[in-house]
Structure 1
Amino acid sequence: MNARFDRIGLARFAGRGERLARIVTIASVSFGRSLLWLLAAIIVGCGVWMLLPLSKGNSAEPAKSDVAAVELAAPGDTTAVVSPILQAQAPAAAELDRLKISSQTWRRGGLGSKALVTFTLRNDNDYAVKDLEIACVFTRRDGSHLTDRSRVLSDTVTMKSRKTFARIPVGFVNVNADQAKCSLVAARRA
């Protein structure tokens, strides 16, 4: 009698085993098809991405900036080579005669990718100034040009006074930058 129950039990499990095997086969085939569709979608996506034109950030040509670069010939020289964008701001540039950056240093921040500039601005004018625009030129150790960055500071410097701006972030800087020279580009009366 025990043998009879074993045969009946095995027959039941044998039927379920075939169904289970069929279900596993169907699932593996549909999973395989899903993987093939995913692979096809990835290949098509990569093909479309390769055909798209390069953006300005990825092109080999340097991007033209709306910010003017200021290059000083010597530390005491106040004559600057300025782009036409800044030449249109002649009334603001006239106020720069009695504004001077008396000391400046820079260091890296943000895991070494950002430039933090500390400088002291001296205002010898008879009026306060605000909206100070500084332009910083970063160079390699050998003096070759790397990057230009500028920043507008909305702080006010009162008349006949000095103000120290500490660790002002001016933007991302090349990892090869070793020296920085910042100069005042524009200012407005407060």
Structure 2
Amino acid sequence: MKTTIIVSAIAAIFLGATGAATAAEPGDKVKISIEKWRKPGSNNIGTADITVTNDNDFAVKDIRVKCDYMSKTGGRKIETEQKLTLKVKPKTTKLFKKTKFPFIDTEAAEGACKVISAAQA
């Protein structure tokens, strides 16, 4: 019993000192929504109007976004991941128009995009 308490106390001190157990990543407080898709040209890169909300107390940049869609016909999974080299001030929401994005035909697929990481600016 005594050994268990000591090990637990040491673990709590170590994790608290390093912040590993409680520290949130900057991307945890960043949200993205796709407002409008535009069909791509010959390179299959489309553009999208996106809204990014940063609820952090600091600015963020280099936002990594992952989109997961399922095609309506055939049930095929479509995945894209992209780093957006955008900067968003703390506690703000910003609209970015015509952001280059791998195109997903939203009429032929259902799904969404989410932030998977961001860096503190």
Instruction: Note closer, same or farther for the CA distance 1:111–1:178 as it changes in structure 2 (3 Å cut).
Output: farther
In the alignment, is the contact (CA less than 8 A) between 2:39 and 2:46 conserved in 1? yes
Unaligned runs of 5+ in 1: 1-91
What amino acid does structure 2 have at the position aligned with 1:146?
Answer: K
TM-score (norm 2): 0.63
RMSD of aligned residue pairs (Cα, Å): 3.0
Output one character per residue of 1:44-79: Cα deviation in whole Å (capped at 9) or x when no partner: xxxxxxxxxxxxxxxxxxxxxxxxxxxxxxxxxxxx
Secondary structure in 1 matching 2:25: helix
Letter in 1 for 2:31: K
- What's the counterpart of residue 165 of structure 1? 96
- Give 1:180 shift: 4.5
Q: Which runs of 5+ in 2 are unaligned?
A: 1-22
CA-CA distance at 1:136 after TM superposition? 1.5
How far residue 116 of structure 1 moved from its aligned partner, in angstroms, is 2.5
Shift of 1:141: 2.5
Give TM-score, length-normalised by structure 1: 0.43
Aligned residue type for 1:138 = Y
- Which structure has the larger Rg? 1
Between Structure 1 and Structure 2, which shows a larger proportion of strand residues?
2
Structure ranking higher in helix proportion: 1
Aligned-pair identity in percent equals 31
Could you tell me whether the CA contact under 8 Å between 2:33 and 2:113 is conserved in 1? Answer: no
* One-letter amino acid of the structure 1 residue matched with residue 97 of structure 2: A
- What is residue 187 of structure 1 aligned with on the other side? 118
In 2, Cα distance between the equivalents of 1:143 and 1:105? 25
CA distance in 2, matches of 1:97, 1:135: 14
Q: Which has the higher contact order (CA 8 A, sep 6+)?
A: 2
Partner of 1:108: 39
